[in-house]
Amino acid sequence: MEFHVTGRDDGCRARTGRLKLRSGTVQTPAFMPVGSRATVRGLTPPQLRECGVQMLLANAYHLALRPGADVVAEAGGLHAFMAWDGPILTDSGGYQVFSLAAHRELTDEGVRFRSPVDGAELFLGPRECMMAQNLLGADVAMVLDQCPPYPCERHLAEAAVERTLRWSAACKDCHAREDQALFGIVQGSVFDDLRRGSARRTVEIGFDGYAIGGVSVGEEERLRRHVVALTAPLLPADRPRYLMGVGFPLDVLAAVADGVDLFDCVAPTRMGRNATAFTPHGRLRLRNSAFRHDQEPVQEGCGCLCCRLYSRAALNHFFRVGEMLGPILLSIHNLAFYARLMAHARDAISHNRYPRFRGEFAAGYMTGEKER
């Protein structure tokens, strides 16, 4: 992996970069759609490319559970298995420590999950986590971490930091692919001193890149943005910085201003599957009867497949009658919107006008939200 900062904005910490990985180069800041089970739901790789997607996220826990990391390896690795030849990052399963709390047993050695599908057991410790991600063969692997919930008592957050640090060091020792980057993860919930300590000690272990984890787990926006603004500058300037699981437009732009390079979130595709489109003027809820006779595209001037060929009225109809094309089209539109938002952000940074760009976008976006 190579990472070079290519530009900075004098008015904030925003920066552009070039992240060179085995499967290609990513211009940052960049947004990664979520394809947990080796697919971004309903979309093909050519459609993702047309949307402007540069890099995908998959999930080691889900793929180890089904079909098995060995099955993916037999197919030639994750890129061949999902027919995507661009960069891929695999999350370790640390988020599932949070989201599947009712189906797991947590110890210092690792996490024993019981599948919510068929009851099968899966144990993930640092060694197992690295073995699975080495077999999957993504360009970037993540350490195994403990993602605590919010609200979280301080002693529990502190324990999660210590466990994550032990697992992080063990993951580095077990990581066996020289062609695969390994990223560390900073935890600490909403406690400033824990965040500072976690960042310092994670950097001391030494990784190819660094992630801010444990946010977007129920905390209010004010706290989330404070944690990101505090943590991002503590991470090495010559390494990529990744904000895990944060992906609504205004949150992404705020984090870009703090110097974050990579993002992922289910929001654009999940909201698309639920009839909600992102636009520069806020969200459109296309199942509403107000769109039944609206012959305009979702977003004027958007060149995505959805906006080129279909009207809001057609999308309203698809969702009302349960046609699968509706979720596919809005997922395409939303991912194209996010890719274009990141491209505009990179352009604004390169011309030293990012704060102005961010402010103008936020004003238009919030005005549209309030009007609907």
Catalytic residues: 91, 264
DSSP-assigned states of every residue in 9-47: -TTSS-EEEEEEETTEEEEESEEEEB-TTSS-TT--HHH
**Residue 284 in contact with residue 298, Cβ under 8 Å?**
yes
| Residue 96: φ, ψ to 5° | -70, -20
Q: Give the largest CA-CA distance in the chain.
A: 60
- Cα torsion 135, 136, 141, 142: sign: negative
Q: In what order do the strands lie in the sheet with 110-114?
A: 104-107, 110-114, 121-124
**Residue 157 in contact with residue 148, Cβ under 8 Å?**
yes
DSSP for residue 75: T
Half-sphere exposure of 109 (CA within 13 A, CB side): 4
